Amino acid sequence: MADALEIIRASDADGFLPGPLGLRLDEEFLPLTALNAKPEVLDSLLPFGQMRQYGAAFLLRLWPGTIWSSGPLPAGSYRTADIGHGLTRFRLRGVEALHFLDHYTCADLFAPRIRQARCVRSRLGGYDVTLWWHNTRDVHAVVFRSAAQSFADHLRALALRHDPADPSTYPRPVTPGAPDRRG
């Protein structure tokens, strides 16, 4: 019998980002399967542009003919492919996690449609990133594994230069002088 593959981390993201925001960035392994079928078939499973999470498992559909699935696969007639090895998931936590990302992504994460869907594909700096969240304090970001370390370094650099007193970062969920801002 073949030995199980050892999961090797793609970055050194493990702990608090520098700067005044108290954001924590961790890399987490994400077993991910792509479900591929015609859009009509996938529509019965999950509408386009939506995310559904139950416990640690979730379904994410940001492509017409593909759904990402983590956890048990739903019943249906589609093709599957394991894609977890090519992607890296980061978890950004803290009271200002989504506000921080909103300031640096191309998408308006607080637009009504995106806020309702709680998921989006966008660009953050020069990186293609897939984001989803249940609340603004706990955001998941997926990037290609080959870009994981430089993406983590980019977020560190953004956190260092991010000025919470800058009026362009308002509205904020917590005032900059709040006593405990750790995620």
Phi, psi angle pair for 63, to nearest 5°: -130, 145
**Sign of the Cα pseudo-torsion (79, 63, 72, 1, in order):** positive
How much is the pLDDT for 117?
93
- Contact indicator for 37, 65 with CB cutoff of 8 Å: yes
Strand ranges across the sheet with 87-93: 14-16, 24-28, 87-93, 138-144, 127-135, 119-124
- Region 15-43 average pLDDT: 91
* Count of other CB atoms within 10 angstroms of residue 177: 8
Q: How confident is the model at residue 112 (pLDDT cuts 50, 70, 90)?
A: very high
How much is the pLDDT for 51?
92
Three-state DSSP class for residue 35: strand
Is 60 exceeded by the pLDDT of residue 95? yes
Beta bridge partners of 107: none
DSSP 8-state code for residue 3: P
Domain extents for the chain? 15-31+85-163, 33-82
Is 50 exceeded by the pLDDT of residue 41? yes
Look up residue 70 and give its amino acid.
S
C-alpha–C-alpha distance, residues 16 and 94, integer Å: 9
Residue range 126-161, pLDDT digits in tens:
999 999 998 889 999 999 999 999 999 999 999 988
Tokens of 114: 């995106």
Give the pTM. 0.84
How much is the pLDDT for 182?
46
Is 50 exceeded by the pLDDT of residue 76? yes
Task: Please give the CATH topology (third level) of the domain spanning 15-31+85-163.
Answer: Gyrase A; domain 2 (3.30.1360)
Pairing state between β 33-36 and 66-70:
antiparallel
* Mean predicted lDDT score pLDDT of the chain: 87
Q: Which of 180, 13, 17, 14 is nearest to 100 (CA)?
A: 17
How much is the pLDDT for 130?
96
Residue range 155-178, pLDDT digits in tens:
999 998 887 777 766 665 655 555
Question: Which position has the token pair 């449609």?
Answer: 113
* Count of other CB atoms within 10 angstroms of residue 67: 26
C-alpha–C-alpha distance, residues 89 and 81, integer Å: 18
How much is the pLDDT for 183?
43
Question: Which position has the token pair 């998941």?
Answer: 140
